Amino acid sequence: MQTIVINKSMVEKHLTMKDAIEAVETAYGEFSAGKTQMPPKKYMYYEKGDLRTMPATFNERGMTGVKVVNVHPENRRIGLPTVMAVIELVDMETGFPIAIIDGTSVTNMRTGAASGVATKWLARKDSETVAFVGAGVQAWLAWLAIKEVMTPKFVHIWSRTLETSERLKKDIIDEGYTGEVHVFTDLQASLYDADIITTTTPSRTPIVKKEWVKKGAHINAIGADAKGKQELETELTASSLVFIDEWEQASHSGEINVPHKAGLIEEMHMTPIGEVINDTAAGRVLDDEITIFDSTGLGLQDIITAWMVYDKVRHMKDVQRIDLLA
Instruction: List, by residue number, the catalytic residues.
Output: 67
CB of 250 to its own copies, least distance (A): 20
Applying CB under 8 A, does 322 fall inside the site for its own copies? Answer: yes
Residue nearer to its own copies on the CB measure, 13 or 170: 13
Applying CB under 8 A, does 104 fall inside the site for its own copies? Answer: yes
Window 260-299: residues binding its own copies (CB under 8 A): none
279: alpha, beta or left? (left if phi > 0; alpha if psi -120 to 50) = left
Of the candidates 38, 43, 27, which has an alpha carbon nearest to the alpha carbon of residue 227?
43
Applying CB under 8 A, does 324 fall inside the site for its own copies? Answer: yes
Q: How many residues make contact with its own copies (CB under 8 A)?
A: 51
What span, in angstroms and rounded, lies between the C-alpha atoms of 24 and 303? 10
CB of 256 to its own copies, least distance (A): 24
Distance, C-alpha 129 to centroid of its chain:
20
- Of the residues 25, 30, 102, 245, which one makes contact with its own copies according to CB under 8 A: 102
Of the candidates 176, 158, 253, which has an alpha carbon nearest to the alpha carbon of residue 212?
158
Is residue 246 within 8 A of residue 270, CB to CB? The reply is no
Helices within the chain (DSSP H only): 8-14, 17-32, 103-122, 137-149, 162-174, 187-190, 234-238, 247-253, 257-261, 273-277, 299-313
Q: How far is CA 112 from CA 44, 149, 313, in A?
A: 25, 12, 22
- Of the residues 15, 25, 32, 97, which one makes contact with its own copies according to CB under 8 A: 97
Window 19-58: residues binding its own copies (CB under 8 A): 37, 39-40, 42-49, 51, 53, 55-57
Burial-class residue 73 by CB neighbours within 10 Å (0-12, 13-18, 19+): exposed
CB of 217 to its own copies, least distance (A): 36
Applying CB under 8 A, does 110 fall inside the site for its own copies? Answer: no
Applying CB under 8 A, does 309 fall inside the site for its own copies? Answer: no
What span, in angstroms and rounded, lies between the C-alpha atoms of 96 and 103? 19
Applying CB under 8 A, does 88 fall inside the site for its own copies? Answer: yes
Element holding 143 (H helix, E strand):
helix 137-149
CB of 230 to its own copies, least distance (A): 25
Applying CB under 8 A, does 84 fall inside the site for its own copies? Answer: yes
Query: Helix %, strand %, coil % for the chain, to 5?
Result: 35, 25, 40
CB of 284 to its own copies, least distance (A): 34
Residue nearer to its own copies on the CB measure, 104 or 295: 104
- Binding residues for its own copies, rule: CB under 8 A, are 1, 5, 7-9, 37, 39-40, 42-49, 51, 53, 55-57, 64, 66, 68, 70-72, 75, 78, 80-81, 83-84, 86, 88, 90, 92-97, 100, 102, 104, 320, 322-326
